[in-house]
Amino acid sequence: MSGTMDDHAVRSALTGSMRDYVHPDGRQLQTRADAFFEWQHLRRRQGLWPYSRASEEGPSTFMAARDDAGRSVRGVNFASQDYLSLCVHPDVKRVAMDVIAEFGMHSAGSSVLLGNTPQSVALERRVADFLDMPEALLFPTGWAAGYGVIKGLVRPTDHVVMDVLSHSCLQEGAQAATHNVHRFHHNDLAECRALLEEIRAHDAHHGIMVVTESLFSMNSDSPDIVALQALCHELDATLVVDVAHDLGNLGADGKGVIGDQGMLGRVDLVMGSFSKTFCSNGGFVACHTRALKEYLRFYSPPCIFSNALSPSQAATVLKAFEIIESAEGRRLREQLLGNILELRRQLEEAGFEVYGEPSAIVCVKIGSEALARLVSRHVQDAGLLANLVEYPAVAKGQARFRLQVMANHTHGNIRDAVAALKAANASGRSDFGRLGAAWLQPPEPTARWH
């Protein structure tokens, strides 16, 4: 940070969070955004707003991007969700173009009407078979699938019991469906049991949905799905598991955590996204009966009232499945895991603390939001594209950089990324010390923003 910077402005830009603007006051809805924009733009002017960047080329391992102030940056890319590097796979690109030539760009309707295509019908079958489930239903995005599976099945008198770190789509779906939302501490099976037993002690008649993820991206950890499903059977609840971040890219056969835990075909409801490993927008819900699939199709708002996946999107995911289930897919997963382990090793050797178990998301602990923002200011200049995650997306005082690993990353890419983060961290801490930390309040342990 330049010594000519306005230190008062920088200090102001290092305080506050997006939670402060969730419930703005005032009668005029259109002017309520002004205070947020003033805070955001203060951060932008001080080079402390690392969000809303635009890539200038495909998600390669080294790429150009532009921040939302228009400044061009280039660096080794650990900010893209393309875990198996299939977005740039020639066969995937070729099939998308071939299907566009034959079917056009658009599905032209909801899946309830005439929006289905040969590709989407085949993809539903492929998803179901891959998960060893009888049925699967497609959604326009992964977010829509998470929101839709809850809103489509849960009614106001029902209950949702969910891990406190469940994804935004699941949180929003629960809040839209019922006021009876109960959260348990992250991966705390005992607290989940206590909540279910308490609900059943007072309500023997209404439904309960238990919600978790197979791989929590911010912490890179997993629940005991075997125990959760057994608990749901015991207390007559329905389990939903979100497999967005591990399906296709973890495990020898790509079946992810549910495969590793021996739960293929044994979870009540499985939902996921295509945008991490399968190089397309879209999501799905897999279930055990045609009746439930058809009910979700007609009673899940994001399904009935959204346009279906385009033919090229569905064809892209189908080709991704084909690669994932091939010898090439196994090789890509081995490359990915090797890169994950190498990145974690080098980060730890450089003095960083990383979260959780090996997965394609490697989160690096920084600490206070102010320090993390100062580090972020140097990250791009050091030649690294990585994502800053701060409160309220994670608990207060637990800001981190989220590095997303791809199969095509080289050891040179990994070495350069660690060196860049190490240099940016040193510069950010120097800025932090120069500014003086006394003006910052100690971080309070606070639950994540829901």
| pLDDT over threshold 70, residue 448 | no
Domains of the chain: 9-25+45-83+327-435 (3.90.1150.10), 90-324 (3.40.640.10)
pLDDT in tens, 75-119: 999 999 999 999 999 999 999 999 999 999 999 899 999 999 999
Give tens-digit pLDDT for 371-403. Answer: 999 999 999 899 999 999 999 999 999 999 999
Question: What band does 434 get if pLDDT is binned at 50, 70 and 90?
Answer: confident
Instruction: Encode pLDDT of 262-306 as tens digits.
Output: 999 999 999 999 999 999 999 999 999 999 999 999 999 999 999
Over residues 260-271, the pLDDT tens digits come to 999 999 999 999
When pLDDT is averaged across residues 333-358 and rounded to a whole number, the result is 98
pLDDT of 6 reads 74
Q: What is the mean pLDDT of residues 424-449?
A: 69
Residue with tokens 């006394």, as numbered in its chain:
438
pLDDT digits (tens, 9 = 90+) for 109-168: 999 999 999 999 999 999 999 999 999 999 999 999 999 999 999 999 999 999 999 999
Strands 135-139 and 283-287 come out as: antiparallel
Question: What's the pLDDT tens digit per position in 14-63?
Answer: 999 999 999 999 999 999 999 999 999 999 999 999 999 999 988 899 99
**What is the arithmetic mean of pLDDT over 190-195?**
98
Give me the pLDDT at residue 57, please: 87
Give every strand in the sheet of 399-404, ordered side by side: 361-367, 399-404, 387-389
Q: Please provide the size of the chain in residues.
A: 450
| CA atoms of 376 and 364, how far apart (whole Å) | 12
pLDDT value of position 99: 97
Summary mean pLDDT of the chain: 94
Percent of the residues in the chain that have a pLDDT greater than 90, as a whole number: 90
The angle at the Cα of 216, spanning 170 to 425, to the nearest 5 degrees, equals: 120
